[in-house]
Every structure is written in C-alpha cells, then in structure tokens.
Structure 1
C-alpha cells in the first residue's frame, strides 16, 4: 500500500499546480483572472445544477469526473485563449504528451482510467463528453455576460464566440443558453425558463473563488481559496476512494465535496486551528445554506440542502469519507511547504492528533496510518517553528 499511496499523493501534489494557471476570463467581480482549478470546480457545479437539462442518455456523474480532469494538462501546456491566433494542432500534441506525463504518475489502472476519460472529453463524441463540452462553452460566456461591469473587450470576445465561434453551436445543442446569452448581449428582456432559473445560483457561486483559507498553495505563498480547494479535495476523494473505511458511492461523495464549502460565501472560512465560536459559526452556515440553495428551483433546493447537511453530520459512509479527505488534504500541503499554516497558528503535533486524526481515522483510517509517521518526523525534527522567532 505504501508505494501505491505515495504515487497517488504525488499525482495529487502535482495537481496543486493547476491553481497557478491563469485563464483569459476574470472573476465576475473583475478583481483578478480566474485560474483553471477554480474554473474546473465551477464547471463541475454547472454539471450538477444543469443535470435536469441533460438528456436521458447522459451520466452527469461521469460528466463531473471529466470536468475535474479536463484542464489538468494545462499544468504543463498552459491555457490557450480562444480569441488568440493559435496552432491548435501543436497544442493538441503538447496536451497529449502532458496527459501521458501527468496521469502516468498514478498506478497503472488509475492512469488508464483517467487518461481514457480525458481522451473521451477531448474527442467530444459521446453524449457525456458532448454535454461536458457544452458546459465548458457556457461557463466562460456567462462569466462575462453576468458580470455587473464586464470589460468591453471581453464582451466583444463573447459576442464573436456566440456568433461564429465555439459557442455558436449552442443555438442547436443548448438553445436556452444561446438565447439567454443573446438577450444579455442585446439588452433584451430576460427569459424565464429552466436555464435562467439555475443561472442565479451559479453566478452567486463565483464568489467562493474569493473566500481565502488559512492554507497556502504548495508552489506559491498565496492563500488557497475555497473554490480551488473544493476542486482539489474532490480529486483527492476520487483518487483515494479505495481507502474509504467502508464501501462508498464515490460520486455521491464527490457531490458532497462539490457543495461542502459553498456556505462560506456568506459565512467565511474558519480555520480548524483558529479560535471559533462554533455555535455562532453553525448559525451563520445554516443561514447561508438556506439563502444560497434557496436560489435553486424547488426540485433542487431540498436535495442540495440535504446533501450539505449529510456532509456536516458525517454519519453516512460517504460523508465520513468526504470529511476524511477534507482533513487529509491540508496536512499534505503543509508537509510539502515546511509547515504551512501550522507555522502561522503555532500548531503542535498533539493538536493535529486531537483535531485532524478523528475525521481521517473515521472515514479512511489507512490514510491516517500513512500520514502519522510523516507528521511525527516533521514535528520531531523541529521543522515547524514560531514565525516570530
């Protein structure tokens, strides 16, 4: 198990670099460029929210997995904006090589699974891949058009894309989205349909990209945000699902993790090693869940809320495993960066045992067994020091 898990963690560490890949799009509030990790999280959320609009032959669970993976190659190749003159054949060759390199870090059968799913998305031939591609065309378009004060050059790119670019085919493949984008571009009266009823929640969710956590990236000193964290911990759950304490529905766990931090848009992030009034925090999160999931149509409001409550209660096998990987991800990053947030919060080993171990041991005890010796070595070697010393 040790070598296999080490290989899987090596892949997950490498994936952290996707958080540094900047896209041409900016956040809805225009504050900074969007990165490819938080874009991937947002697309997975699009898939979950737009599931009722997918055809009966589409597996939204597979679509979510595709979208978690689809941009990982950009760690090597970078992002290529659609409006720039680009040799797309050369890009395709580079991305093929990047996929082989990145997924090759995983054990053989996982490498083949991930590579096959990535190839399926790229080929755009199956119903699942076509729906994933449709969402990948939609999200950047509405990222521009739903902004309060979008950049004019971005609006013109969106206009061109919708007229005769990659998004033009939405007129046939996703007409409600195409019509609403057209209405926004022409300042026409908005429609009221199944698409627009879901768009309000998806645009509000963009704010999660601005909620900063206490943890830092592995390859940068900036703080991680809750959207890219949610993407990364979903990847953790998928890759490490074999270590769940009991049989779990992995896709249900992925959906929990997709939603688990959305309440932080209103309630903020509260570090596990910080000082928190838990009753006050719970009240804020309950109110946030009510407001945010209340933006969804009635048929989704209740199941999304129930899934979030299931994660919080941590009573089902899926929720316990979700909690386990959520606790496992940050120590991996902190070990990689010489202590990370443990340094800033002056964390001792016994505090990790008290605050982190129970969740990991309950949902994935083998992960704690693997992690504990590394934590012991780290703290015994005095690598985590007082930042003021």
Structure 2
C-alpha cells in the first residue's frame, strides 16, 4: 500500500533530524566543539532575518527556505570542507545523489519544490541564492574569527584560498564586504593566514 502524503512528510521530517549529526570544520565561538549543520542553518537563518535589509531584492521567506534546505543533502553526502581540494572533486555528484534520495522521501510536489530550491542555491544566480551564498560564507568566517581562527590555523589555510572562497561575498553589500575584508586582514596581520 502506498504511503499517504502525511506519512511521507513525517518520514522526511524524521530523516532530516540526522542533519544534527553532520559536523562541519567550523568551531562554535567558544572553541569547545565543531558546529553541526543544523546549528549552521539556524544561525544563517537568524542572520538572514537580521541582515535582510541589505538585500532588498531577495524574498525573505524563499531565502529562509533555501538556507534551511541547502545543507540537508549532507546527511548522505557528508560535509565537505570548503578548502578540501580532493573532497570537492566529487562533491557535486555526491550531493546530487543525496538530494535525490532525501527529497525523494517527500510527496512529488514538495520533492520538486525543494530540489528546485537546492539547485537554485547551487547555481547562485537568483537574488535569494546570492544572499544565501553570502551568508553561507560570512557565518563560518565570523565564527572562525571568534574562535581565534582555530580552523584556519589547523588546516594551514592561506589568504588566497579565503579570498577565492569569498569572491561572491565581496560582490555583496559594502558593509559585508568591509566586514569580511577586515576579518581577513586581521588574520593576516596576526599570522593566522599566510
């Protein structure tokens, strides 16, 4: 017997609880442990609400959906550290397969909606995707600074890597660009970035 729409939705909701078990390479601000994907998504959503005035062309509800759903694929694909060259080689394939699996738990209409939102984030072209992608970079950078640049130090990250990773961030609002530039320069001045 086919599952009802509600049963499929509940299966999905239980499965996405696993996002709490996916740990990133970003420390929480007190450096006591790594942040998990659920915390990252929540914190980025709070940032979206607070900073939405800097992104007047982005629909806030759509932005929040995108922030909540873009990392769910890591339940099966795992979190790939943004500076991991080897791990990023097959990231797109792993995440696409994971998206099909996790969103495939939903009724067809919702599967399509969330797959589309995930793909929109990945493509990065819409105002909401640009907003999300900026937040997705500012949030861990902010925590990295708060933790004394622990993650960058542990991984031996270089200034050029951070600048490349944040290329689209610097195309955002001037206030965010300046904020990020100040963090990077602070890290360089104190020897945390070479």
Q: TM-score scaled to structure 1, two decimals?
A: 0.47
Aligned 1:1-389 pairs, distance under 5 A: 192-244=3-55, 247-356=57-166, 358-382=167-191, 384=192
CA contact 1:270–1:276 (8 Å) conserved in 2: no
Q: How many residues align?
A: 193
Secondary structure, counterpart of 1:342 in structure 2? helix
Structure 2: stretches of 5+ with no match in the other structure? none
Alpha-carbon deviation of 1:292?
Answer: 0.6
Alpha-carbon deviation of 1:349?
Answer: 2.1
Secondary structure, counterpart of 2:90 in structure 1? helix
Evaluate the alpha carbon distance shift between residue 294 and residue 192 of structure 1 in structure 2; reply closer, same or farther with a 3 A threshold: closer
Task: Give the Cα–Cα distance (whole angstroms) in 1 for the partners of residues 146 and 94 of structure 2.
Answer: 33
Alpha-carbon deviation of 1:193?
Answer: 3.7
CA contact 1:216–1:224 (8 Å) conserved in 2: yes
Evaluate the alpha carbon distance shift between residue 195 and residue 337 of structure 1 in structure 2; reply closer, same or farther with a 3 A threshold: same
Alpha-carbon deviation of 1:327?
Answer: 0.4
Task: Give the Cα–Cα distance (whole angstroms) in 2 for the partners of residues 319 and 294 of structure 1.
Answer: 22
Evaluate the alpha carbon distance shift between residue 223 and residue 277 of structure 1 in structure 2; reply closer, same or farther with a 3 A threshold: closer
CA contact 1:327–1:359 (8 Å) conserved in 2: no
Evaluate the alpha carbon distance shift between residue 364 and residue 323 of structure 1 in structure 2; reply closer, same or farther with a 3 A threshold: farther
Alpha-carbon deviation of 1:276?
Answer: 3.2
Evaluate the alpha carbon distance shift between residue 236 and residue 279 of structure 1 in structure 2; reply closer, same or farther with a 3 A threshold: same
Alpha-carbon deviation of 1:378?
Answer: 2.8
Task: Give the Cα–Cα distance (whole angstroms) in 2 for the partners of residues 272 and 316 of structure 1.
Answer: 22
Q: Please say which structure displays the higher CA radius of gyration.
A: 1
CA contact 1:201–1:296 (8 Å) conserved in 2: yes
Q: Higher RCO, 1 or 2 (CA under 8 Å, sep at least 6)?
A: 2
CA contact 1:205–1:265 (8 Å) conserved in 2: yes
Task: Give the Cα–Cα distance (whole angstroms) in 2 for the partners of residues 197 and 369 of structure 1.
Answer: 45
Secondary structure, counterpart of 1:195 in structure 2? helix
Secondary structure, counterpart of 1:248 in structure 2? coil
CA contact 1:333–1:340 (8 Å) conserved in 2: no
Secondary structure, counterpart of 1:224 in structure 2? strand
Alpha-carbon deviation of 1:221?
Answer: 2.0
Instruction: Select between 300-309 and 220-229 the one with higher mean Cα deviation.
Output: 220-229
Task: Give the Cα–Cα distance (whole angstroms) in 2 for the partners of residues 267 and 199 of structure 1.
Answer: 21
Alpha-carbon deviation of 1:277?
Answer: 4.6
Secondary structure, counterpart of 2:188 in structure 1? helix
Summarize deviations over 1:89-139 as a string: whole Å, max 9, x none: xxxxxxxxxxxxxxxxxxxxxxxxxxxxxxxxxxxxxxxxxxxxxxxxxxx
